[in-house]
Structure 1
């Protein structure tokens, strides 16, 4: 029985020895890998302003709804949505026959009143008529002149012109429709002068001031730009507890009225590690990065935070002072020899 137990004892000792054998990792196979040429940059903790995002809408600074000041049929519609127009350009012509008839009547009355006044003025100078008769003729001339001016103004309202350079954005009527005061016929806006309109929560009101420069992001246009706060409504909306804010934007290609935007309001200064986005490799649900340690690439599992343009914050996985691989001439593996460019 003693000799029969010896093989089992040797087998048990062999298993224990195997459990304590050093694990062969990537570093053992690394010498067989070719050296990669990489570009590195030191990992640094940088200070930045933490921001709160407030959603808003890009709108034009100049926009107008054009409506008729007199009631008349539309005789001619000269523009369509999307058409660019110049200030003073004729957009809509209304039927002016009735108004023109009143204008001609007022003009005839004025000319008659003017002739009567000239005759009475001459008679008054000759002291043939009294001062009262002269004053009555003068008053009649002024009344007739005012009536003529009113009729001329009404006649001018039958021609609707562009109030500024811009683009027609909407058309609410067409030829044959009855134009009445209070109902818009066209909408026009200036696409060259845009701003972001947002509703600022009351908790952030003390962080924004007139003339302040804030960052605005418009995802649809793929632009991030600096805007200037031009208006802050001092009274909050009682339903939403927000304050409307308007931020003037510089001209950028692709920026259009109606687009969704985000206003970044600084709230506190924080310190965090920021690295180039290209240095982070995403595989499935994992975010990976390589650092150079003792002449070899070392794989790190990292966790990222907020993206800031071409950089991203790294919450964990990297330490300040390490050499981060930002470019490589070939795909890297953990433990692969590297040459720093």
Structure 2
């Protein structure tokens, strides 16, 4: 009531001031008198109107003070009833135990099973190129023929000398049988025959050096020379790679030495083929641990009949070392990542409860729960964007957690 009284007084004062201003505005200056005398000089009719207006406003304020909070309405009135919160429809999945492989991941490099740079052993002019870039060739195939004209002339001379030495030796051998020649003469002719045969073999070997052949089966690279070029020893002509099998070299930390052994299977993937997984087998584990990186080198082999993998490729390697038979798993859709850590919304007693968790590995769309949940707990996988901690939910569907493998 104290508030309403003050309000009425404030209304009376304000309205008096308003009417005085209006009176001054519409009254001639000759009639105007400053100060409190203006009220005295008003006509009785004007004074009566002002009093009636103030009385009406004051009465109205007093009548409605209980309905207007700013006029001192009672705060003890019963509050309006809050509308009950409507449950949000969600889809949940149960936390289940599943076998979970324990894998080691590493970064590997692809290498050809056999790889060589084709060069010449001798200096010579190229007479013929007998290959195409990217061609698959067998071992022993002639790739390059150098000019061997002079060598063949020398070979012909050596062969003639050998043939003559052979005839002289054969004749001396017959004479020796009839005692018409000394044994020393026969031995001398035999030595000359051997020398002639050695000369032929040497000339033939030199000629062979002018024939460049594939040392093993594989795929040829780019051609770096042309017909008529003069090649020197060591100059690259082309490359040859055997890629039917690809070697994969990768390093593991020394604390994983006991987890890897020859014969283990692994999987490799390349960014070039994101949807393709290549199966491989560990071939060799190094006998030494690097004293710089404290890691051990492992070499595996991956079949590559379709030649998709190329030497030098970057490969991600996953090596299975064990299997956890009872890992708690939930769909990755249930996991919410926050600044304070990962969490899920578990459904308990019909409400969505914010539940912090500790995550383990993720595999094939599922996440391992190390701490925070128990087997059988229901977690929300769809409708997360609409739920709040402690809000009621309506489970419209429960999906089955598939096995992670």
* TM-score exceeds 0.5: yes
Measure, in 1, the Cα distance between the counterparts of 2:370 and 2:133. Answer: 50
Measure, in 1, the Cα distance between the counterparts of 2:298 and 2:305. Answer: 21
Deviation at 1:134, TM superposition (A): 0.7
Q: For residues 217-264 of structure 1, give each alpha carbon's deviation from its aligned partner in whole angstroms, at most 9, with x where no partner exists.
A: 333322334421112221344544433321111337643332211233
2:214 alignment counterpart: 162
1:208 alignment counterpart: 260
Q: For residues 163-209 of structure 1, give each alpha carbon's deviation from its aligned partner in whole angstroms, at most 9, with x where no partner exists.
A: 33321134443333333334442211122211211133333323222
The one of 145, 148, 165 equivalent to 2:200 is 148
2:299 alignment counterpart: 246
Measure, in 1, the Cα distance between the counterparts of 2:114 and 2:334. Answer: 44
1:122-133 alignment, distance < 5 Å: 122-133=174-185
Deviation at 1:52, TM superposition (A): 3.6
TM-score (norm 2): 0.65
2:229 alignment counterpart: 177
Larger radius of gyration: 2
1:313-328 alignment, distance < 5 Å: 313=368, 319-322=374-377
The question of whether the paired residues in 2 share the 8 Å contact of 1:280 and 1:287 is answered with no
Measure, in 1, the Cα distance between the counterparts of 2:222 and 2:367. Answer: 42
1:60 alignment counterpart: 112
Measure, in 1, the Cα distance between the counterparts of 2:377 and 2:129. Answer: 69
Identify if the C-alpha distance between structure 1 residues 135 and 256 changes in structure 2 by more than 3 Å, giving closer, same or farther.
Answer: same
Identify if the C-alpha distance between structure 1 residues 141 and 200 changes in structure 2 by more than 3 Å, giving closer, same or farther.
Answer: farther
Deviation at 1:57, TM superposition (A): 0.8
The question of whether the paired residues in 2 share the 8 Å contact of 1:290 and 1:297 is answered with no
Identify if the C-alpha distance between structure 1 residues 250 and 42 changes in structure 2 by more than 3 Å, giving closer, same or farther.
Answer: farther
More off after superposition, 185-194 vs 297-306? 297-306
Q: Which structure ranks higher in relative contact order (CA pairs < 8 Å, sequence separation ≥ 6)? A: 1
The question of whether the paired residues in 1 share the 8 Å contact of 2:265 and 2:319 is answered with no
The one of 255, 269, 272 equivalent to 1:220 is 272
1:286-325 alignment, distance < 5 Å: 306-313=361-368, 319-322=374-377
The question of whether the paired residues in 2 share the 8 Å contact of 1:297 and 1:332 is answered with no
1:33 alignment counterpart: none
Measure, in 1, the Cα distance between the counterparts of 2:316 and 2:365. Answer: 18
TM-score (norm 1): 0.75
- Cα RMSD (Å): 4.2
2:396 alignment counterpart: 338
SS in structure 2 at match of 1:211: coil
Deviation at 1:293, TM superposition (A): 7.9
Unaligned runs of 5+ in 1: 31-35
Deviation at 1:280, TM superposition (A): 5.4
Measure, in 1, the Cα distance between the counterparts of 2:327 and 2:186. Answer: 90
Identify if the C-alpha distance between structure 1 residues 284 and 325 changes in structure 2 by more than 3 Å, giving closer, same or farther.
Answer: closer
| 2:328 equivalent to 1:273 | yes
| 2:142 equivalent to 1:90 | yes
| 2:332 equivalent to 1:261 | no
1:14-25 alignment, distance < 5 Å: 17=79, 24-25=84-85
Instruction: Report how many residues are paired.
Output: 326
Measure, in 1, the Cα distance between the counterparts of 2:242 and 2:213. Answer: 15
The question of whether the paired residues in 2 share the 8 Å contact of 1:297 and 1:333 is answered with no
The one of 61, 81, 85 equivalent to 2:133 is 81
Measure, in 1, the Cα distance between the counterparts of 2:227 and 2:86. Answer: 79
The question of whether the paired residues in 2 share the 8 Å contact of 1:195 and 1:249 is answered with yes
Identify if the C-alpha distance between structure 1 residues 268 and 89 changes in structure 2 by more than 3 Å, giving closer, same or farther.
Answer: closer
